[in-house]
Amino acid sequence: MTEITPSIQSTRRPLRRVAVVAAICTVVVLLLAAAAVAYFTASGTGSGAAVVGTITPATISAPSSASSSVTITWSAQAGVTPASLDNNITYTVLRKPSSGAFAQVTSGSCASTLPDGTMTCADTSVGSNGSYSYEVVASFGSFTVSSNVVSVNIALVPPTDSVSLVSPVGAYLNTATDTVYINTKVGGSFGLADAVRAPGVAPASASFPGVSAAGWSGHTTSETVSTGTSSAPSITYSSSTRYSFDTTAVASTGIVSSADILGNTSAGVDLTFTPFSGGPTGGSLTADGIAGTSGDALILTSATSYPLAWTNFTADASGIASSSLSVKFAPWSSNTCGTYGSAIMITTSSPSTETETSGDGCYQYTLAETDNVGLVSTLMTTVEVDTTAPVTADNSSSIGGEWENSTQTVTLSPTDAGSGVAKTYFTTDGTTPSEIGGVVQGTTQTGTSVVLSFAGSYTIKYFSVDKTGNVEAVKTAASVIRIDLVPPSVPAPIVNGHS
């Protein structure tokens, strides 16, 4: 009897890595290597060979959507010789993460060894986004043939959006409510940007809405932008044109969404465009007990220190961008506030005591808060400090102290560099002029023209008061004015005792 010794030799085609991006219901097609051939040889004469089986290349189809289930598909050729061995070929599906080793798939219909004739199975155990490699091993008895390796990027979740405004003017995005507030007091513009994140794969594009409602211009039609900045897994896309609005702009809505390279789309961000013209409210500002107003309140005082108190405004719907309390100084100029200098920030807490170190002049306090769309609410109060009394002069020296035979007028000339002269008081009988609460006392009179029309000797005393209440010291005119309105008479001559 001739002994036949089988010698089995298997060949393996070199592995070829094919990059395939997976999506839901992803189909991975694997290319199995060339045939496994068994050669039979016999001692004596003759030799023979028999083909055990042949596994032929599979076709590859690109996936169209992401899924947590990856379908593996391959093909094989029938006609194994001898025919009795045809059904003895089995298949095992292996998977490897981006870092690690191949291991048999343990879930879905790929979990067990598959018999000849089964050319597909579903792997349902992919747990997260990432890159995976698959390989199919065909076995006949103790002999195996491995397919080429296919790399698959798995996207189990859709991309996400993070929307922001680009160089906003008069606009603000509240990301908590997805509301874009627009300043319709002055109008403005903004761009939109979407930072798209697609873990495990890569973003492909972002879509921006068009806003064509009344009062809007610029970006009036929707667009899809596929060129962005940065790199996967997060790419930022920006609208190609700006959204512009004027004071008549009405409310509108729009959705910013994105897609990854597999075509998976995000849930999107529903934006609401809301006109806004309010501004912060509820603030208060008082200086020396006088409340400030939006148009400025004026306080005259001769005090160099006084109380200052304030309460910040309440945030409006768009929120507060900045707040400040400042003071500016201006010197007196022709009895009014002159040119103000730079604002100095007040950093003390309310209330405080302001002590003026710049001297007499105007101290303008401004409480200002700006919201996120540029609307500003202000309260102003100006403390006009005047601590210097007026200075009054007279022209009595020009009249002199000689007797005059006609009505004489002495002119009083008061000056005040600060708040200005309020009143001038005088007497002509040498008594000290006085007033109480603006009411003259005794022989005191008011005015700057002292008319002396009766005969007599006049000693003029005077003083002035400015608008702040500063009182000048009483002065006495340089000359005593003397008036004699009766002409002299010549007595009749007396002759012999008779006139």
| 187-232 confidence digits (pLDDT tens) | 999 999 999 998 767 899 999 999 999 999 999 999 999 999 999 8
Could you identify the residue written with the tokens 């400090």? 385
pLDDT tens across 382-396, in order?
A: 999 999 999 999 999
CA gap 415, 465 in Å, rounded: 10
- What percent of the chain clears pLDDT 90, i.e. is strictly above it? 62
Q: Which two tokens stand for residue 130?
A: 């990432």
Q: 244 vs 498, which has greater pLDDT? A: 244
Asked whether residue 341 carries a pLDDT value surpassing 80, the answer given is yes
Asked if 167 contacts 218 with a C-beta cutoff of 8 angstroms, the reply is: no
Q: What is the pLDDT, as a whole number, of residue 369?
A: 95
Entry pTM = 0.65
Q: 406 vs 46, which has greater pLDDT? A: 406
SS3 416: coil
Q: What is the pLDDT, as a whole number, of residue 47?
A: 41
∠ Cα 94 95 97 (to 5°) = 160
Q: What is the pLDDT, as a whole number, of residue 7?
A: 32
Neighbours of 267 (CB within 10 A): 12
Core vs surface per residue 81-119: b (16+ CB within 10 A) or e: eeeebeeebbbbbbbbbeeeeeeebeebbbbeebebeee
CA gap 142, 146 in Å, rounded: 13
Q: What is the pLDDT, as a whole number, of residue 99?
A: 82
Asked whether residue 269 carries a pLDDT value surpassing 90, the answer given is yes
Residue 83: pLDDT band with limits 50, 70, 90: low
Asked whether residue 13 carries a pLDDT value surpassing 60, the answer given is no
> What is the average pLDDT across 140-155?
74
Residue 36: pLDDT band with limits 50, 70, 90: very low
Asked whether residue 61 carries a pLDDT value surpassing 70, the answer given is no
CA gap 46, 339 in Å, rounded: 121
Mean pLDDT of the chain: 84
CA gap 123, 145 in Å, rounded: 21
> What is the average pLDDT across 88-117?
85
Q: Which residues contact 126 (CB under 8 A, 6 or more apart)?
A: 68, 69, 70, 132, 154, 156
CA gap 312, 324 in Å, rounded: 9
Asked whether residue 18 carries a pLDDT value surpassing 60, the answer given is no
SS3 499: coil
Q: What is the pLDDT, as a whole number, of residue 16?
A: 31
Q: 141 vs 12, which has greater pLDDT? A: 141
Q: 124 vs 267, which has greater pLDDT? A: 267
Q: Which of 29-33, 93-97, 336-340, 360-364 has the lowest mean pLDDT?
A: 29-33
Q: What is the pLDDT, as a whole number, of residue 147?
A: 77
Residue 135: pLDDT band with limits 50, 70, 90: confident
Greatest mean pLDDT among 116-120, 159-163, 435-439 lies in 159-163
Asked whether residue 163 carries a pLDDT value surpassing 80, the answer given is yes
Q: 346 vs 93, which has greater pLDDT? A: 346
- What percent of the chain clears pLDDT 70, i.e. is strictly above it? 82
> What is the average pLDDT across 458-465?
98
Q: What is the pLDDT, as a whole number, of residue 117?
A: 76
- The bridge status of strand 188-197 relative to strand 243-245 is antiparallel
Q: What is the pLDDT, as a whole number, of residue 93?
A: 87
> What is the average pLDDT across 474-494?
87
